[in-house]
A and B are shown apart, each in its own frame.
Chain A
Amino acid sequence: MALKDYRPMMERCSNCAGCKFIPFDKVQSLRFAENCPSIGYYNFMTYSARGRFQLSQSLLDGRAEMDETVTDLIHSCTSCGYCDIGCKVTRYNLDVLDHNIEQKAYAVENGKILPGQKPIMDNLAKENSMIPGTKKANRMDWAEGLNMKDLLKEQGEVAFFAGCKYSYTPKLQEVARAAVKLLQGAGVELGTLGAADNCCTGRAKQMGFFQEFEKGANNNIKAFKAAGVKTIVTPCSDCYHSFKRQYAKLGLDVKVLHVVEYIDQLIQEGKLTFTKEVPMTVTYHDPCHLGRLGEDYTPWEGKEKKIFNQIHTWEPRKPRYNGAYGIYDAPRNILKAIPGVKLIEMERIREYSWCCGAGANCQDSNPEFSAWTAGERVTEANATGADVLVTACPWCKDNFDNAVGEDGKTITVLDIIDLVQQAL
């Protein structure tokens, strides 16, 4: 769809404020009632999904101009997708997140990108990684000695895909290794794409760089198909969303599992048992792309059909991604299964979780905004009284780590795999 195709949604938005707050029924306090990082930080309504709809209309009608401020505000969105969920609590026909990302693509098509985005995209083009400064040649260093099949050389059904963040960040490489060992220990035979292991490019899509996303995705799909992969396992929530939702649109038809789903399954089957007590009070952060954006993809092609004169429906029935079936329980099941761990929930959880701030690579392109967003979450975690903030995404962990230490925020941040490791 092009930006102009979102016109019906733009004009049907009723400015109800659902995109700015957690579901109103869920509000427990003034402090943690809001849920759009972008308007939260910048305050002008333009930064909300509603404002973005208005802005798009104005751009398409030739009134607003794509100047520096507008370019900046279009890209100052982590694509966390909460606005979409908040909207769908009471509306059935607006795809708010898709619009926001399409608006970014419109800017990109017009050559309007942020200075901080250029090195990211340059690195993707040159080194197949979304992390500036990282090299293709070092991508698989993290996996050295792990005894995984090279799927380019021998067929294998289960591919382990670490993703850029785990592959290149030294403190996270150990976590990825632990995940592999854990699955191997439970008898899972894993392989990697080896030399063909490249960025999933999902974050390029979140940033509005559609061509780069499709190029990368199609190459990866080709590699997975050639290797005969039937299941992809990843510890990265962003990669998970890419494969499950975005690649599926491009024809990838394999089972996609996040490591937490696999571990939960192993626990349920009795193939993984914890032997050590981990006396810890933790709170869990739902990564956007594992939680509300982690629902299964259902192909759909159809058109709008009005019934009873003016009631909007779809023919055939259109899948409705409202966050109901994201991956929320698997990580919580794991935490509950670890002896000694006490889980305390934050106010904004599951489908209405607050974003970590790293989405759409804002960490690099809009560092102050991204850091503020992470700081808000750490403050919320602190408010629970938990000792540890646990998450299941390397981008979230990294951004939280950076926020700790600012303004008295002292919580320890752990990847859930780390915690599992401690209990084995």
Chain B
Amino acid sequence: MTLSNEIYQALEAIVGKRNISRNLGVRESYRNVPAQSSAHYGPSEHWTPLPQAVVLPGNTEEVQGVIRICNKYGIEFKASTTFWSTMGYIGGDFAIQMDTRRMKSVTIDQKNMTAIIEPFAIGATVQAEAMKYGLNLNIPGVGCSSSTLANFSSWAAFGPNSISMGAGSENMLGVEWVLPSGEVMRTGSWGAGDGWFCGEGPGPSQRGLLRGIFGAAGTFGVCTKMAVRLHPWPGPKVLPTYGTVPAYKANLGDNFKCYTLCFPNWEAWARSTQYFYECDVLYTGHRQFNMFGRDLKAFMLKIITNPDAQLGDLPKLMEDPYLQEQNKSMKLEYQVIIAGITERDMAYKEAAVDYILKETGGWKNEMMLEKDMHDFALLYLTRLGHKNLNYVMCGAYEGTFGLTGNVWKAIEVAEEAAGMKKHWEQTYTHIAATGGDSSMGGVSSIGGGGSTGWEFFTNFDAYDKESVRGTAKFVDGNQQMHNKYAFGPDFCRWNSDVRHMDGYSYTQEEHNEMFSKAPQPWVFAYQYKIREAINPNNLCGTYVRTLDPSTLEKA
């Protein structure tokens, strides 16, 4: 089935000739091989389907017009922003791709501490605009290169600052939302005609319908505008960066400190997080640089902070006794930023950190106190502008072992998971040998603390098909371990849940089959009913995890 001229012209009439294309070369660039930007979507080496056309709407009305045409002719559609994630691409053949690149505005409402944003406003631009007013936002762990609106509406969106600012579900306020039917819905206070400041309005929680805890991954239509909660920023209006590319750094003044806190064992590690959950002194808390792996992190930090260093310098650096000592020192660690509003506030926070270290037998890593290293880590965690170092070692990575939940539960399995990964690193050559433990993620994935959100960085080479296939087998191994602990689908299976290995979406029946075996299947049955109401014809994909309740009733 191909798009007729009549349909194409109807779409063209909405967005204008300049903003639509059905040229084959253009459409081909709107396909994706999941292995190339993997991260939770499975190391699959196949291309996603070819869209019938690519349209670039410029506002809510144009999005609405496009969706109405799709409804009229039964065309699937998918909207995406930066296109990093596989879930932003279409999953069937008779489908059009919406690219929201033209919609990128950011308006700061200083008084109500909110930013009203459009889909293509990325974390970096929202933050830069907010900082001018002494405000900041939660930039999720994916980094500032991705869309704030997409993160907050469609995904978990927790990150380094979530301990002080909360995650996506806590920061999404009023939303302008074009439903899969083409109807425009306005949620929260915006829907009640009272402005953007509040996520909830009269009646049932529309925020809950739209995103729940993990987001509907773009399955429930297109959010065209959103207000997001902003938080105090006690720093300068513009990040004062310095240093030679690529090792940019920032000196934010005496009221900002970035530490790498290290602990003698997992129990002390976990206990320290409990203290931080209670005393509310962290601006940022994240286990960041362990993404390079337990064996490599200190050495990798030396490479990425030196403009002249290269990955090939690793073996030589690993002979350095000082760095060896530092790497050992930060075996079980996480990074924190404390930010003081006043000198007294800063002194209190410094004292609290020292007290917690004393109580848990922890220490500050010495190398990470060096000025260059400190200022690099401080900028890294504040802007998350270097987040794509995720890919620096091999070009691709897969997030495995999604240890999202209670910190004590997470540390129980952390070493077993690390051991399993190390076994694969040593027995096969498909994934990078970084030292087993490569778990990274938030000290808390919710505001105030209480839940971790980790993933193991499993680095592989998307160009090397043996590496891709071997990583897929490793993913199978992970899933077995997840089954053992009733963790449900592993991070790296989330794509497998919604797409076949050939890049096409699963059917509802196939969803049912998989999710009926999940630990809490009624959650997916609930989501099924929501999807049935909001997206009855599955016109915008099937990424949301659902389960037909009748399947469970029969069981």
Contact = CB atoms under 8 A, between A and B. Distances in A.
Interface of A: 7-8, 11-18, 21, 23-30, 33, 39, 43-46, 50-52, 54-55, 57-59, 63-65, 67, 69-70, 73, 85, 88-93, 305-315, 317-318, 320, 322-324, 351-352
Interface stretch (B3-11, B32-40, B323-331): B32-40
19 contacts: A14-B388, A16-B391, A21-B122, A23-B245, A23-B248, A25-B241, A33-B124, A43-B18, A43-B102, A44-B29, A44-B54, A44-B99, A45-B30, A54-B28, A58-B29, A64-B24, A90-B391, A311-B393, A314-B312
Contact of B125 (A30, A307, A320, A322): A30
A324 to B, nearest CB: 5
Interface in B503-540: none
Interface string B23-55: 111101111110011000000000000000010
B128 A310 contact: no
Nearest to A63: B28
A58 to B, nearest CB: 4
B128 A46 contact: no
A12 B244 CA distance: 25
A312 B395 contact: yes
B60 interface: no
Given A89-B386, A309-B432, A64 B28 contact: yes
B305 interface: no
Nearest to B393: A311
A36 to B, nearest CB: 12
Contacts of B431: 309-310
Contacts of A67: 23-25
A63 B27 CA distance: 11
Given A11-B36, A16-B145, A90-B389, A46 B26 contact: yes
B229 interface: no
A416 B431 CA distance: 52
Contacts of B36: 11-15
Nearest to A292: B245
B432 A91 contact: no
Interface stretch (B400-408, B458-466, B486-494): B458-466
Nearest to A66: B25
Contacts of B245: 23, 85, 88-89, 322-324, 351-352
Contacts of B250: 25
Given A64-B25, A322-B245, A14 B396 contact: yes
Contact of A8 (B56, B143, B463): B463
A28 B128 contact: yes
A92 B311 contact: yes
A25, A93, A351 pick with most chain B CB within 10 angstroms: A25
A313 B311 contact: yes
A312 B311 contact: yes
Interface residues of B, number: 82
A26, A30, A88 pick with most chain B CB within 10 angstroms: A30
Contacts of B106: 30
B29 to A, nearest CB: 4
B500 interface: no
Nearest to A323: B245
B129 interface: yes
Give chain B's interface secondary structure class.
loop
A308 B314 contact: yes
Nearest to A305: B312
B104 A317 contact: no
Interface string B152-185: 0000000000000000000000000000000000
B144, B385, B387 pick with most chain A CB within 10 angstroms: B385
B392 interface: yes
A51 B310 contact: no
B31 A89 contact: no
Contact of A311 (B18, B246, B314): B314
A120 B54 CA distance: 33
A73 B25 contact: yes
B232 interface: no
Contacts of B18: 43
Contacts of B23: 67, 69-70
B74 interface: no
Contacts of B315: 307
B33 A11 contact: yes
B544 interface: no
Nearest to B97: A45
B24 A63 contact: yes
Contact of B145 (A21, A70, A85, A92): A21
A16 B101 CA distance: 15
Contacts of A55: 25, 28-29
Given A30-B129, A58-B25, A312-B461, A24 B54 contact: no
B383 to A, nearest CB: 5
A32 to B, nearest CB: 10
A85, A305, A312 pick with most chain B CB within 10 angstroms: A312
A73 B21 CA distance: 12
Given A43-B19, A45-B101, A92 B392 contact: yes
A354 to B, nearest CB: 16
B25 A25 contact: no
B19 A308 contact: no
Contact of A15 (B37, B461, B463): B37
B25 A29 contact: no
B425 A309 contact: yes
B84 A90 contact: no
A65 B22 CA distance: 13
Contacts of A93: 311, 395
Contact of B32 (A8, A15, A33, A39): A15
B82, B124, B379 pick with most chain A CB within 10 angstroms: B124
Nearest to A52: B29
B238 A28 contact: yes
Contacts of B21: 44, 69
